[in-house]
Structure 1
Amino acid sequence: MDEMVSLAAQDDPEPYFDAHIFVCCNRRPDGHKRGSCAAKGSEALRDYMKARVKEAGIPHARVNMAGCLDRCEEGPCLVIYPAGVWYRIETRADVDAVIEQHLAGGGRAEALRLPPERS
């Protein structure tokens, strides 16, 4: 399976949200070899992002908590759909950059992007 298979059907409706942001808030036990996004502060960053998106008046965007997104070693992380763009967010400034550059600006916060590769 070298080619990417699209799961979208031709008659699927348009996405409900223009941007659906999932912030990993998974918590593993302290000392777990993979770590966890929540242990790295993702819950507070999600709360901050949720408030800032609302304050910025970005329409049709939703910030949600997610369980494990399976990129633990690279976290704290988030993914924005339907674009499928992944970011590592460590600070409020990182969250602001994603909001300004990606959600409000329509571009990408390149310095924060995670690689799209799958193993």
Structure 2
Amino acid sequence: MTDALTEAHEPQRDPPPYFRAHVFVCCNRRPDGHKRGSCAARGSEALRDYMKARAKELGVKEVRVNQAGCLDRCEFGPALVIYPEGVWYSPKTRDDVDAILQAHLLEGGRARHLMLSEQDVLPPKG
């Protein structure tokens, strides 16, 4: 029989992942004319809808495409991030979405020409 103290010190295993990847597509919408713009104003909602439908068509398994609020990279949007890797992309067209689905989620590689990098950051506030 184990007591609470022994249980607290035993290594705990996390349950297996429910999805192997999550894709968060920013669909934040700011007012027209906002200095930062917004991903939704740049077409992210339509790209998200297309990505969800296309992933299903292609048989992409164990991946969830989700709508997200602001991911704080609006100036580079539309923006999306894929976890658990934490890889950021900026797809502008359906072809870009297809490239991300194929390279990243089906083949396990990267669509490097669409990736946001550590250099894609805003200048520090003043």
Q: Does TM, scored on the shorter chain, surpass 0.5? A: yes
Task: Percent identity, please.
Answer: 69
What per-residue deviation string (whole Å, max 9, x for no partner) do you get for residues 37-96 of structure 1? 000000000000000000011110110100000001010010001111100010001000
Alignment partner, residue 22 of structure 2: 20
Alignment partner, residue 37 of structure 2: 35
**Inter-partner Cα distance in structure 2 for 1:31 and 1:85:** 29
Question: Secondary structure, in 3 states, of the residue corresponding to 1:65?
Answer: strand
Alignment partner, residue 96 of structure 1: 98
Look up the equivalent residue of 1:63 and give its one-letter code: V
**Inter-partner Cα distance in structure 2 for 1:16 and 1:110:** 27
What is the CA RMSD across the aligned residues, in angstroms? 1.7
Look up the equivalent residue of 2:99 and give its one-letter code: A
Question: Secondary structure, in 3 states, of the residue corresponding to 2:110?
Answer: coil
Aligned residues: 111
| Structure 2, unpaired ranges of 5+ | 1-10
**8 Å contact from structure 1 (residues 25, 67) kept in 2:** yes
- The ranges of structure 1 where at least 4 consecutive aligned residues each deviate by more than 2 angstroms after the TM superposition are 9-15, 116-119
| Structure 1, unpaired ranges of 5+ | 1-8
**Inter-partner Cα distance in structure 2 for 1:103 and 1:67:** 22
Normalised to the residue count of structure 1, the TM-score between the two structures is 0.87
Normalised to the residue count of structure 2, the TM-score between the two structures is 0.82
**Inter-partner Cα distance in structure 2 for 1:115 and 1:12:** 30
**8 Å contact from structure 1 (residues 26, 68) kept in 2:** yes
Structure-to-structure mapping, 1:2-21, within 5 angstroms: 11-21=13-23
**Inter-partner Cα distance in structure 2 for 1:87 and 1:93:** 13
